[in-house]
Structure 1
């Protein structure tokens, strides 16, 4: 582009000098192109040292009409930086160089031209070059800003995706713990009883063995359901989650595994799905811990609550009556349970009792349903 801009200036100067008595000298035919070639070569470093290259090329253009395009390109490059002091210095050097160039290439009528014309024409061409450079610089800044915003949005999207994956992993881990820990604990308790109780009859032994087999089978089925949810497409609905109405089945399973569980249910009405599901998981985790750490103990479960108030859960077990190897504890059961209850806006408390047992209490908010509120208002 610099060569294309320079050629008209050089050809015009050459044509004007042919009309002079001495004709064009050897300088414009040989020296001028050589100087221009040096200027074009120096332009390769204009991005690294824009101001120095612009000043050097501008001053060299006084001795070369063919280097005019190089000077304008250097001026445009400085304009992209949008620094007024640098732009002013190069424009002043360009206008000054143009006045010196008139002395280097004296043509007929150039001395008689008005001074303001000799100044305004170079200033106008320099202004056009600067305007183009400033526009290019503004466009680069805008593109850089858009690119940074796009990269920032991509990073935020990646962070949100990573957070969503972490939350989903935590949810899956809680579900798998809740599903498997309870079943495996009951199976371990039955196996321990079978190993340490030598006074059991053949029928009692068969009942325990059958319970172990059924518990293992149920654990595998529930694990298969969880894995099926993981592998399912997003459009496939998840299987229904257990709620408050499934607690009697949970108690029945525990009793079938020789766990002495006594349930007292004074709940009035049906809580929302989230509250009922959290209540189910609380009772499930409490029974799991009782089976692990207090085999043979009596476990008392109390449920109480109504809409517009709270749902209170209490699980109390006495000290262990049977002694056998305990299954390994993960240490995350109560921690995950605390997270569930916190997310539900409730409170959790658990502690050992002086008699060697353990008590777990929880309170979940039970918001009043719109239908219930309407009934009370009428």
Structure 2
């Protein structure tokens, strides 16, 4: 326990201050009255004037000094203890000052005031002598020492309680700050996740729509059937983008009435490629994947291919896109999206968030993403994802 640093006492309200002062007076009144009884029995008439005037006046001054006991605890406690020499009524005030000082839990200060209080009690016998029957010295010392010990014990207990309450309050405040920091971090992570999901869902569709609209804008020699096909592709792509947007918003709003869309997976890649071809992209898919990857691995693979197609539609309209997938369980899943040089001029603005989102996804799975231009002015996007052998792992666990 550290007793060098005293805790700052809490600020007392008006009622708390009042009842403490009343308690100090209540302790001193019985002692004062008993002293008056002794004076009457011993016929100490010459001390009656001081007993009825000086003793209460000194006690009143000491009571007023208690108002400063939190600013000057040692000074007030020592002064009141010395004043109790000439005022029996101030004994309760001295004990309250000692109790207040003990809440600081400083042994040196407490020892000084206790010593002053016990000495003052012995000197007070010269003003108010005890009855004529002899009283042992140890009794004269034990009574003030016992009362001072009780006051010190109460003060130490109050001080320990204050330290405990302050510690609990600091812990609660620290826990609230940590909880607020975790909540802010969770909100930031959720915003990033929502942003990636919105980009993955909408960027592909909107890019295909923008590509088809660009063909209509630049080519004036299209036949009526070709125009209808492109317009129908724009309409269908817009509707699909809206539907996917509603699906994402339904998930964010926890809308249970809407059926949940199937999650992206490796099995849905042919569907993704077919949609890209229907929108005018020249896409070829080659896969030599053996085995069925996990849902998380299949979803990441789907998003990589989707981002590659989106970037090809944005920056290389009319180019040929070749998608290659290969890998097996226990090794790696390798994805390659290569596009030839653009046939038309790309006008769709680039956000740059798609590749950043992919890099974050692969970092979470321990994969690696690479993308760079090719010597023939095309572009190559490659990714390597670890593919653990779940069946072998489960078999190993069962054997163990």
TM-score interval (norm. to shorter): over 0.9
Q: Distance in 1 between matches of 2:206 and 2:299?
A: 21
> Is 1:78 aligned with 2:78?
no
Question: What residue in structure 2 maps to residue 92 of structure 1?
Answer: 115
**What's the CA shift for 1:103?**
1.1
Question: What residue in structure 2 maps to residue 361 of structure 1?
Answer: 382
SS in 2 for 1:146: helix
Which of 58, 61, 68 does residue 91 from structure 2 map onto? 68
Q: Provide, for residues 219-278 of structure 1, a one-character-per-residue CA deviation record: whole Å limited to 9, x for no partner.
A: 1111111111111179x9965421111111111111111111110011112100000000
SS in 2 for 1:140: helix
Which of 211, 225, 235 does residue 247 from structure 2 map onto? 225
Which of 175, 178, 185 does residue 153 from structure 1 map onto? 175
> Is 1:298 aligned with 2:337?
no
**What's the CA shift for 1:109?**
2.7
> Is 1:252 aligned with 2:271?
no
> Is 1:45 aligned with 2:68?
yes
Aligned Cα RMSD in Å?
2.1
**What's the CA shift for 1:117?**
1.8
> Is 1:187 aligned with 2:202?
no
**What's the CA shift for 1:68?**
0.7
Q: Distance in 2 between matches of 1:227 and 1:14?
A: 87
Q: Is contact 2:247-2:260 (8 Å) kept? A: no
Question: What residue in structure 2 maps to residue 10 of structure 1?
Answer: 32
**What's the CA shift for 1:280?**
0.3
Q: Distance in 2 between matches of 1:343 and 1:233?
A: 28
**What's the CA shift for 1:131?**
0.9
SS in 2 for 1:315: strand
Q: 1:238 and 1:217, CA in 2 relative to 1: closer, same or farther beyond 3 A?
A: closer
Q: Is contact 1:310-1:366 (8 Å) kept? A: yes
Q: 1:207 and 1:238, CA in 2 relative to 1: closer, same or farther beyond 3 A?
A: closer
Moved more, 31-40 or 295-304: 31-40
Q: Distance in 1 between matches of 2:267 and 2:359?
A: 22
Q: Is contact 1:78-1:133 (8 Å) kept? A: yes
> Is 1:204 aligned with 2:204?
no
> Is 1:163 aligned with 2:194?
no
**What's the CA shift for 1:154?**
2.0
**What's the CA shift for 1:115?**
2.1
SS in 2 for 1:300: strand
Question: What residue in structure 2 maps to residue 340 of structure 1?
Answer: 361
TM-score, normalising length from structure 2? Answer: 0.89
Regions of 4+ moved over 3 Å = 236-240, 371-375
Question: What residue in structure 2 maps to residue 351 of structure 1?
Answer: 372
| Alignment: residue pair count | 374
**What's the CA shift for 1:7?**
1.3
SS in 2 for 1:141: helix
Which consecutive unaligned segments of at least 5 residues does structure 1 have?
Answer: none
SS in 1 for 2:330: coil
Q: Provide, for residues 100-128 of structure 1, a one-character-per-residue CA deviation record: whole Å limited to 9, x for no partner.
A: 21112224337x32222211211111111
